[in-house]
Amino acid sequence: MKILIDNGHGENTPGKRSPKWTDGTQLFEWKYTREIAKRVETELRKQGIDVERIVKENTDITLSERCKRANAIAAKVGVKNCLLVSIHNNASTGRARGWEIHTYIGKSKSDEYATIFWNEAKTILPMGTKMRGDWTDGDADWDSNFAILRDTKCAAVLTENLFMDNPEDCRYLLSNDGKEAITKIHVQSILKIAGK
């Protein structure tokens, strides 16, 4: 199985960052998700998984270009042998907290994969971390009309890894424990999906 990693946004994307906290720290989503994507890639390579980051640039690559890159690789290896994972941090009004996973609308293989991610996240994140599920269709993932989920021909999931604009979530994200946990959620889930 081929794993495609999409790290969200670029250094030139407006917004997509936490406030600057009183201790001087700040999370930039493009930078954070690239760091996690690289950690995930390194770990999976060590385990013999065929993994590739579809955005190696630091700039914002358009969604249509990212889908094009993913679809070109999927066409080569076979769409059924491919999973795209898009890594993000959430933002709202500063009060919301927690972890989410999204798939495209309707039922597909992506929903099965999302459930594996959900269960890993629930186990790996510290006790008491808010798990934000949408159970209206019987599983925890959110059905979302996102281009990266809709326009990719292979299975695709998008993780929203806690809220960067919430001080507690953000402090955890930037900590070493936080980075290790977010990495581990992706690595362990993908290992399960790839059947290792």
Binding site residues, Zn ion, CB under 5 A: 8, 88
Q: Which residues are CB-neighbours of 113 under 8 A, at least 6 positions away?
A: 83, 103, 155, 157, 189, 193
User: Nearest distance from residue 41's CB to Zn ion, in Å?
Assistant: 19
Tell me the chain's radius of gyration from C-alpha atoms: 16
Residues 6+ apart with CB under 8 A from 43: 183, 187
Question: Which residue is nearest to Zn ion, using beta carbons?
Answer: 88
- Least Å distance, CB 81 to Zn ion, is 27
Query: Least distance (Å) from Zn ion to the CB of residue 193?
Result: 22
Q: State which residue, 49 or 104, has the beta carbon closest to Zn ion.
A: 104
Nearer to Zn ion, 49 or 91 (CB): 91
Q: Smaller CB distance to Zn ion: residue 31 or 192?
A: 31
**Taking the complex as a whole, how short is the minimal distance between the CB of residue 30 and Zn ion, in angstroms?**
9
Q: How far is the CB of 189 from Zn ion (least distance, A)?
A: 19
| Contact call for residues 90 and 158 (beta carbons, < 8 A) | no
Of 1 and 156, CB closest to Zn ion: 156
Nearer to Zn ion, 4 or 194 (CB): 4
**DSSP string computed for 114-168:** HHHHHHHHHHHSPTT--B---GGGSSSSEE---HHHHS-SSEEEEEEEEETTSHH
Residues 19 and 100 sit within 8 Å (Cβ to Cβ): no
| Least spacing, CB of residue 77 vs Zn ion, in Å | 26
Q: Which is nearer to Zn ion, 8 or 10 (CB)?
A: 8
3-state secondary structure of 68: helix
Q: How far apart are CA 179 and CA 176, in angstroms?
A: 5
Residue type, 61: I
